[in-house]
Structure formats: C-alpha cells, structure tokens
Amino acid sequence: MSEAEHVCDHTDVAPGDESRSGREIASSIRTYVIGFTLVSLLTVVSFSLPATHLVWAPGVPVVLIVFAIAQMGVHLVFFLHITTAPDNTNNVLALAFGVLIVVTLIIAGSLWIIANLNHNMAAMDVMMNMER
C-alpha cells in the first residue's frame, strides 16, 4: 500500500474521529449538560455559603475545600471523561503523574521558601540589640 493510499484509508481513525450515531451524540450532550449543571450548582453554593450562617464559621474553609474537590471530580468525569475503564488507563496514569509532579513542586517550593526565610532572618540577639 502506497503512502497516498494509506492517508486516504478510512479504517485508520484517531480516537474521537469515529462516526457517531444520533443516540451517542444525544448521550454525550446529556453528559455535558449534567456536568455543567453540577459545576454551576457547586460554584453558586461555594460563593453563597460563606455569606450564610448554615455552617459554623471556622468550618467554612473545610466545606469550601470539599466543594472544590467535588468540582474537580465533576470536571474529570463529565468533561475530561477520565474513568477507571480499561481503555482509559493512560489518562488515569497521566493524571496521577500530573498530581505527583504538582505535589512534589509544592513540597519542594515550600521547603525552599522555609530554608531561605530561616537563613535570611536576623538572629534573636541581633534583634534584641536593635531595640536598645
């Protein structure tokens, strides 16, 4: 098979380029609408919750973190279509690797900042002599 014939061969398609039936398209649209509704609801609740007295004031940051994690889950499932299906292993591994890199950068950056702050701070005896 020549290269020109291979380019025109319609049996070799990339994921997402397959032809879809009307039922599959309707199912996909329904999935996006459900995801959009959930994300919108979580966003509205996250912005309006601190203004109410439904949650004990010191617990508001915890509730907001829970809503943020829930919203990330909705985005991953409904919009990025990351599931635990066997054909989705590469997506899950890429997500896990990304999370590992971000967590590593946060920890390394925090340690670097703490070390620089500790090194650049004046000693306590120097601070005491400055007050006199």
**What are the residue boundaries of the structural domains of the chain, listed by start?**
1-81, 84-132
pLDDT tens for residues 49-75? 999 989 998 999 999 999 999 999 999
pLDDT at 4 over 60: no
What percent of the chain stands above pLDDT 90?
Answer: 48
Read off the pLDDT band of 111 (50, 70, 90): very high
Average pLDDT along the chain: 84
pTM higher than 0.85:
no
pLDDT at 45 over 70: yes
Taken in order 88, 94, 100, 103, the sign of the CA dihedral is: negative
Q: Give the contacts of 46 (CB within 8 A, at least 6 positions apart).
A: 64, 67, 68, 71
pLDDT at 117 over 60: yes
